Structure 1
């Protein structure tokens, strides 16, 4: 074999090897079917990580599906069409019923849940709410907040009439005057503010923090969690990189998110949503995982959900939330 033949054969082998390697590398990525809500407090880290390659770097192929509520997300998870999900306060609900394992917290929805009232219908204080109708979506972040706000202001939740609707319908009912109050989550507050100039924000969840905190986060299907801890550890690493970038470079991150994923939302409104959530760096979260703070906050929401559903026997947060995976992964 002369030199020219040798080079040709070698080049062909290299090209062939590269061709074979490409599919192998692609196949090596772990496909994860992930559901999410399209609201900044839930999908901010997801899209930042997707756009910046944070999850790709960890060998993950996230197959994303958008849902309208946390209830729909858990139905899909329980039904087997999702491996993991990211949601709001509902992350404290179904896992307490043995349906899903919580392994990662996104943020605290410190002011994302809000209570708006119409003074033109005689409601200007919590006392005025007695006997009135309040529209909201039960079993959600807004519902958890509303219950806490009523009790904190000496109004028994039984003294008001809850009107359970999807959030768009609840907000429409408030705008039309069909109900004098609505418990919502951002960004629906912007619509209320624009359509009902005289509407008053009576309270938001920040009034009860840090004694109480409504958190959003991630849960995995039980069987998936048991069999795919290494994949979930990689998801945590990708999330951590995206999360810390959002904190350190919030202006750039929000600008990118608005252009790529929230084009119908003015940047000023997106910044308002960002201000309504409380984020911690991945390292700062470690202390709250380790000292039981996260578990205690999850349990507060769980206690509400279980009492509201009349369930007396349930799985406590100390069992359905596994802090060890996060702490080990980011040691």
Structure 2
């Protein structure tokens, strides 16, 4: 009996030692994994659009580093190139207009919309030369913008409201960065542009703004999307990015001049140009961003509603072959809700002032 007891005690000791050793190995493994995640460099694509320039605040003021995440901003002079880079897995996150993420979603590119950046409130517009005073006057005239982008959609929508189609104009396919100079040099009669190119075009003598996104509130939302790999393997990192973004918003509220300087430097424009460009963007708090994703409304304040309307239009003009199965699935407010638990407030600047 004593021999049996000793044997049981011996086995118990061996089991305890094994468990301690195994736990130590697990801790080392977990520590190694955490260290690996902290070293991963996430690439976030941006292009020349005011609300996307807010990421330069995050970068310049060290908020990514503060949140323990390594993010590299990748600038694309041609907007459609940024969308293509995201679709092919060359970047992990993308700042984009909602119309430009519908086709990738429909085509099976894994993505989730994790943050609402802004609604265009005048940052997009259709500008024309002297003598063209209305949309109807564009008939037979040359109009430049970048095919397949939000500005193309905006142009088609403006024409449709006046009973016109792309066939009624001479459509000129140019990148936004090229469309503005083409208008300024008189090579085209009109151009559909976003800021800061829009302000540069409007600076031309006798140019006229025919319509802007201020006339269609909620029609052009801009968002941050994460790719499938990041969604599946980097949920905590998505929350860190969102936290870093709202650190930037708080900094923008308290240090407006420095925030504008950060954006202007990154954009390569003057601080005054940056202020004007940002005046066309309506920014969102965490709560209002969550509401836009989750609070069901039959109007453009509800992102899935907006997305469905845009998708139907894109299908009508043959930009997509089929409708998304459920536009609500494109949006995931869970990350924002987690971030909201740890923040006392989420102010955003009033860019119109």
- How far the C-alpha of 1:270 sits from its partner, in A, is 0.8
- 302 and 323 in structure 1: CA distance in 2 versus 1, 3 angstrom threshold: farther
The two structures have a TM-score, normalised by structure 1, of 0.82
In structure 2, distance between residues paired with 1:249 and 1:96: 41
Question: Is the Cα contact below 8 Å between 1:92 and 1:299 reproduced in 2?
Answer: no
Equivalent residue for 2:139? Answer: 130
- How far the C-alpha of 1:280 sits from its partner, in A, is 2.0
In structure 2, distance between residues paired with 1:69 and 1:93: 18
SS of residue paired to 1:179:
coil
SS of residue paired to 1:219:
strand
Equivalent residue for 1:197? Answer: 205
Deviates more, 1:273-282 or 1:143-152: 143-152
Equivalent residue for 1:3? Answer: none
Which residue, out of 207, 211, 236, partners 2:215? Answer: 207
Equivalent residue for 1:144? Answer: 153
In structure 2, distance between residues paired with 1:61 and 1:109: 29
In structure 1, distance between residues paired with 2:37 and 2:323: 43
Equivalent residue for 1:10? Answer: none
In structure 2, distance between residues paired with 1:25 and 1:228: 13
Question: Is the Cα contact below 8 Å between 2:145 and 2:175 reproduced in 1?
Answer: yes
Q: 1:272 aligned to 2:276?
A: yes
Larger Rg: 2
The count of residues paired between Structure 1 and Structure 2 equals 301
The two structures have a TM-score, normalised by structure 2, of 0.77
- Tell me the alpha carbon deviations over residues 60-86 of structure 1, each in whole angstroms, 9 at most, x when there is no partner: 000221112342123222322211122
Q: Map residues 96-245 of structure 1 onto 2, 5 A cutoff.
A: 96-99=106-109, 100-119=111-130, 122-194=131-203, 196-209=204-217, 212-245=218-251
Which residue, out of 280, 294, 300, partners 1:290? Answer: 294
In structure 2, distance between residues paired with 1:136 and 1:273: 18
In structure 2, distance between residues paired with 1:60 and 1:310: 35
Unaligned runs of 5+ in 1: 1-20
- How far the C-alpha of 1:199 sits from its partner, in A, is 1.0
In structure 2, distance between residues paired with 1:26 and 1:322: 26
- How far the C-alpha of 1:254 sits from its partner, in A, is 0.9
Which residue, out of 250, 256, 276, partners 1:250? Answer: 256
Unaligned runs of 5+ in 2: 1-30, 297-301, 342-353
Equivalent residue for 2:336? Answer: 326
Question: Is the Cα contact below 8 Å between 1:136 and 1:163 reproduced in 2?
Answer: yes
- How far the C-alpha of 1:173 sits from its partner, in A, is 2.6
Question: Is the Cα contact below 8 Å between 1:290 and 1:327 reproduced in 2?
Answer: no
Q: Over the residues paired in the alignment, what is the CA RMSD in angstroms?
A: 2.5
In structure 2, distance between residues paired with 1:302 and 1:242: 32
- How far the C-alpha of 1:274 sits from its partner, in A, is 0.9
Equivalent residue for 1:91? Answer: 101
Deviates more, 1:271-280 or 1:65-74: 65-74
SS of residue paired to 2:214:
helix
- How far the C-alpha of 1:290 sits from its partner, in A, is 2.4
In structure 2, distance between residues paired with 1:287 and 1:314: 21
In structure 1, distance between residues paired with 2:285 and 2:332: 19
- How far the C-alpha of 1:244 sits from its partner, in A, is 3.5
In structure 2, distance between residues paired with 1:213 and 1:154: 19
Question: Is the Cα contact below 8 Å between 2:56 and 2:262 reproduced in 1?
Answer: no
- 39 and 326 in structure 1: CA distance in 2 versus 1, 3 angstrom threshold: same
Equivalent residue for 1:39? Answer: 49
Question: Is the Cα contact below 8 Å between 1:83 and 1:220 reproduced in 2?
Answer: yes
Question: Is the Cα contact below 8 Å between 1:139 and 1:305 reproduced in 2?
Answer: no
